[in-house]
Copies of this chain bind each other. A is one copy, B any other.
Amino acid sequence: MSKTIELAQHLEKLHINNMYKSDFYWTWDKTDEELDAIFTVADALRDLRERNKSTRIFDSGLGISIFRDNSTRTRFSFASACNLLGLAVQDLDEKKSQIAHGETVRETANMVSFMADVIGIRDDMFIGEGHKYQKTFMDAVKEGYRDGILEQQPTLVNLQCDVDHPTQCMADMLHIIHQFGGVENLKGKKIAMTWAYSPSYGKPLSVPQGVIGLMTRFGMDVVLAHPEGYDVMPEVEEIARKNAQATGGSYRKVATMEEAFDGADIVYPKSWAPFAAMEERTKLYQAGDQAGIDALEQRLLAQNAQHKDWTCSEEMMKRTRDGKALYLHCLPADITGLSCPEGEVDNSVFDRYLVPLYKEASYKPYVIAAMIMMSKVKDPAAALMALDGGDKRKFF
């Protein structure tokens, strides 16, 4: 029996009826079994591709991508996922850094969705705006379907908003699961999500938020650490706490990188912007106050620079379990002595983890494809079995 058949049989046992025709905003909207289904389908698609089996579930169709922020790897991940399933990608190239208004979004949403099957949106620049944009967009699409404007209802894959980065964190998690040999081995494992110094400013909070919102669901000991002033959204922390309680794991905050790294099995040191500053930035953009934006940037860079000791150095790594914690990063990292004089991680540490880092990233297209498949196919287990059994090769 092939791995895909095994995975399809597992999928059959899960309660996943709510996923058909549903949007994917945040991991905490989904049940544990629904997340399990995403991981299962991602692994199955990977197995099919390894064996040169066709994974086309669409004969034709469009994935619309909207990147309100520069992106290379998420763009390629989305394009790869769409192609894997038989969808072509059409990119909507909106002017960057623009805060869109409801009516415009509603019109755009309908105009680009006439034949869309799935919509991927990345909008992470403005606290309080990214998710709102995605929601406004998808509400308009739903209305369009209800009103007979659209013949099919496209579904959303959140490619990063101001709150969560589900395709990244699910890829991170699938990587962890495989590195540790299964979900069952994660109970009690310590994962340190920590801030790290970067010479750039204004990085989104969606990765640390997504990590504490997701990793707390697997019985792990999740620790968040950051300098004063770099808090994440309190509502996501609340979700992390509840998750931990429900799974017998824990969620806590510590004040230093050292404490977070001590005995950790997994570390995720990464820079992000202070929450309050990001809120201020949104207001400055809304007011069109460029001088204010520039002043804020200078202030934030100076604030960052006070915490250059928050870096994933060789010394810091030695504090982790046997000095060999699994190092994670969503890439690209600011690498000390390689891409910048002082950054998030020592070159020697980063270099040692290159292969696992690239593997971590390699799960993202499969996670996106699994999200699309779960939202578009009524019986995904049957679909996987048909793909496995079919004699259609990916290439001759």
Contact = CB atoms under 8 A, between A and B. Distances in A.
A286 interface: no
B149 A76 contact: no
Q: Which range contains the number of A residues in contact with the other chain? A: 35 or more
A228 interface: no
B72 A111 contact: yes
Contacts of A62: 79-80, 83
Given A49-B152, A151-B46, A111 B361 contact: yes
B90 A79 contact: yes
A57 B59 CA distance: 11
B362 A114 contact: yes
A84 B81 CA distance: 19
A86 B58 CA distance: 11
B60 A114 contact: no
A80 B359 CA distance: 32
Contacts of A89: 88, 90
A260 to B, nearest CB: 26
A359 B111 CA distance: 10
A350 to B, nearest CB: 9
A283 interface: no
A112 B59 contact: no
Given A50-B151, A61-B395, A88-B83, A331 B107 contact: yes
Interface of A: 46, 49-50, 52, 54-62, 72-73, 76-77, 79-81, 83-86, 88-90, 92, 103-104, 106-108, 110-112, 114-117, 144, 147-152, 331-332, 335, 338-339, 354-355, 358-359, 361-362, 364-365, 376-377, 383, 386, 392-396
